[in-house]
C-alpha cells in the first residue's frame, strides 16, 4: 500500500512525546513490511523539509497551527496517490477525509480526549474552538471511518465526551526501552519522573511533595527526566534533593530509571501513559492519579498504585514506599512484556487494508468501548495504594 502517516510532530521534534513514538514506530514497521510510507508533519526550526529515514519519506511543513491547512493542501494535490491514511489526532485531527478520495481508507488515531486540557494551554475562546473541532466537527468528519483509541479510557471518553459514532478499536502502544544490563537499585529511596515538561503533566505537584517526603526519609532523591516548555520554570523552583536532567540519551535514561524505587506521574490525564510502561519494562512500578489512560497503564496492587484525584502526592508516595517489595518489579516486567510495537503495527495495517484487527490480548479481549463490540472497560475498586482491579 501507499500510506500517508499524518502527525503533528515527528520523533526528532524538540516537543515530541508519546504520540510521535506511536506514529514513528508504526511508520517504520509499515516500511519494513514493504509498503511505501510518507510521514507528513510540522517542521521545527533547523529540520529538513524532506528526508528519508529507514525507508520512510518525511515531508515537513508549517508550524503549530499552519501545519493543518498545509498538510490538507499537500494531500489534496495528491488526492489519488494514497491507498490509506493514518490520521493521528493530537487534540485536533487533520480532517484528512476532506482531502482524499472517498475510497481511500482513513484511520483516525486518538491518543486521548483533550477537551479539559484545552483550557490549560489556550485562552478561553481558543479552547472553546478547539473543543468544537475535537467534538462535533471531528465526529461528523470521521463518521464513515474506523478509529483507533490507544486505551479503553480513551475509547470510553470518545463515546461519552465526544459522542463518537464510528467504530473504535483499542490498539495500545508497544514498549521499547534500552537494556542497560544489570543495574543496582539506588541505596537511598529514589523516585523518577519521566515525560514531557508541559502543564498538564503537573510536575510541580511532585516538587511540592518532596519536602514532606524528605522530612521522614532525609536521603530521598528525585530525578526528573524530560524537556518541554515548563523546563525553565521548574528549574527555578527545584527543592533540595531534586535533579532535573532534561533530555537524556536512551541508554542513560534507562540506567537512571532502572535505579529508581518508584516512577511517579502526576498527570491530569493521558491517552495511555507510555512512560509507565517504559518504567515497568525496567522493573519500576508507578504511583499515579486515577485518571484517563493511567488507570489502564497501571495495575493497582501489581505494577503500581492509583490515587484518587485530590490525594496528597506525598502521602501516596510514602504509602507506596512502605508497601514496596520485589514482587512489584516482577509483575511490572510481566505486564510490559504484553505490549509489542510489532503487534501494534500489524493491527493498524489490518485496519488500513480494511480488515478487522481483532481484539488486543493485553486487555483481555477488549476491542473498543461501549458501542464498539468489545464490552465495557474493567471497573475499579478503590484507589488507595494496594487496591486491586475487579475483573468482569
Nearest residue to 16 via CA among 317, 274, 206, 370: 274
pLDDT score, position 122: 67
- Burial of 38: CB neighbours in 10 Å, binned 0-12, 13-18, 19+: buried
Alpha carbon distance 109, 271 (integer Å): 11
CATH fold for the domain made of 190-336: Rossmann fold (3.40.50)
Alpha carbon distance 278, 300 (integer Å): 17
pLDDT over 70 at 121, yes or no: no
The domain locations on the chain are 2-170, 190-336
Nearest residue to 104 via CA among 87, 124, 83: 83
Does this chain's domain 2-170 share its CATH topology with 190-336? Answer: yes
pLDDT over 60 at 373, yes or no: no
pLDDT score, position 11: 93
Higher pLDDT, 284 or 134: 284
Alpha carbon distance 6, 56 (integer Å): 12
User: Per residue in 134-160, pLDDT tens?
Assistant: 878 888 999 989 999 999 999 999 999
Mean pLDDT rounded to a whole number for the chain: 88
Average pLDDT over every residue of 61-70: 93
CA 31 to chain centre: 22
pLDDT over 60 at 196, yes or no: yes
Residue 229: CB atoms within 10 Å: 13
Contacts of 63 (CB under 8 A, 6+ apart): 42, 43
Using alpha carbons, list the distances in angstroms from residue 133 to 70, 91, 113, 121, 136: 17, 9, 12, 16, 6
Based on its alpha-carbon atoms, the radius of gyration of the chain, rounded to whole angstroms, reads: 21
pLDDT score, position 130: 74
User: Whose grid coordinates read 465526551?
Assistant: 161
pLDDT score, position 380: 35
- Burial of 116: CB neighbours in 10 Å, binned 0-12, 13-18, 19+: middle
Cell of 377: 472497560
CATH class of 2-170: alpha beta
Contacts of 363 (CB under 8 A, 6+ apart): 152, 170, 172, 296
Residue 43's Cβ-side half-sphere holds a number of Cα atoms within 13 Å equal to 15
pLDDT score, position 115: 63
Higher pLDDT, 262 or 181: 262
Cβ atoms of 369 and 170 closer than 8 Å:
yes
Amino acid at each position: 500500500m501507499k500510506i500517508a502517516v499524518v502527525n503533528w510532530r515527528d520523533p526528532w521534534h524538540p516537543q515530541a512525546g508519546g504520540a510521535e513514538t506511536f506514529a514513528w514506530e508504526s511508520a517504520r514497521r509499515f516500511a519494513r513490511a514493504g509498503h511505501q510510507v510518507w510521514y507528513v508533519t510540522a517542521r521545527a526550526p533547523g529540520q529538513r523539509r524532506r528526508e528519508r529515514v529507514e525507508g520512510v519519506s518525511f515531508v515537513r511543513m508549517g508550524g503549530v497551527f499552519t501545519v493543518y491547512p498545509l498538510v490538507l493542501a499537500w494531500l489534496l494535490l495528491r488526492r489519488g496517490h494514497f491507498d490509506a491514511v493514518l490520521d493521528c489526532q493530537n487534540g485536533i485531527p487533520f480532517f484528512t477525509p476532506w482531502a482524499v478520495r472517498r475510497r481511500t481508507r482513513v484511520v483516525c488515531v486518538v491518543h486521548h480526549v483533550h477537551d479539559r486540557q484545552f483550557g490549560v494551554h489556550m485562552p478561553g475562546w481558543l479552547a472553546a474552538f478547539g473543543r468544537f473541532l475535537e467534538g462535533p466537527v471531528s465526529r461528523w468528519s470521521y463518521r464513515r471511518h474506523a478509529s483507533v483509541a490507544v486505551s479503553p479510557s480513551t475509547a470510553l471518553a470518545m463515546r461519552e465526551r465526544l459522542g463518537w459514532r464510528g467504530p473504535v478499536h483499542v490498539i495500545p502502544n508497544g514498549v521499547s526501552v534500552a537494556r542497560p544490563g544489570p543495574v543496582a537499585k539506588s541505596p537511598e529511596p529514589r523516585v523518577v519522573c519521566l515525560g514531557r515538561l508541559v502543564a498538564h503533566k503537573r510536575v510541580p505537584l511532585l516538587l511540592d511533595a518532596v519536602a514532606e517526603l524528605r522530612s521522614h526519609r532525609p536521603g530521598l532523591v528525585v530525578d526528573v527526566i524530560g524537556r518541554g516548555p515548563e523546563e525553565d520554570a521548574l528549574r527555578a523552583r527545584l527543592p533540595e534533593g531534586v535533579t532535573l536532567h532534561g533530555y537524556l540519551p536512551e541508554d542513560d535514561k534507562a540506567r537512571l530509571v532502572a535505579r529508581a524505587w518508584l516512577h511517579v506521574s502526576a498527570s491530569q490525564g493521558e491517552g495511555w501513559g507510555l512512560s509507565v510502561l517504559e518504567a515497568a519494562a525496567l522493573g519500576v512500578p508507578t504511583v499515579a492519579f486515577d485518571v484517563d489512560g493511567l488507570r489502564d497503564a497501571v495495575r493497582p496492587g501489581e505494577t503500581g498504585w492509583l490515587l484518587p484525584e485530590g490525594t496528597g502526592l506525598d502521602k501516596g508516595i510514602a504509602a507506596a514506599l512502605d508497601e514496596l517489595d520485589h514482587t512489584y518489579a516482577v509483575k511490572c516486567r510481566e505486564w510490559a512484556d504484553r505490549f509489542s510495537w510489532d503487534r501494534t503495527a500489524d493491527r493498524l495495517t489490518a485496519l488500513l487494508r480494511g480488515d478487522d484487527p481483532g481484539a488486543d490480548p493485553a486487555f483481555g479481549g477488549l476491542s473498543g468501548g461501549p458501542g464498539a463490540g468489545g464490552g465495557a472497560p474493567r471497573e475499579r475498586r478503590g484507589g488507595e495504594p494496594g487496591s486491586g482491579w475487579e475483573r468482569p
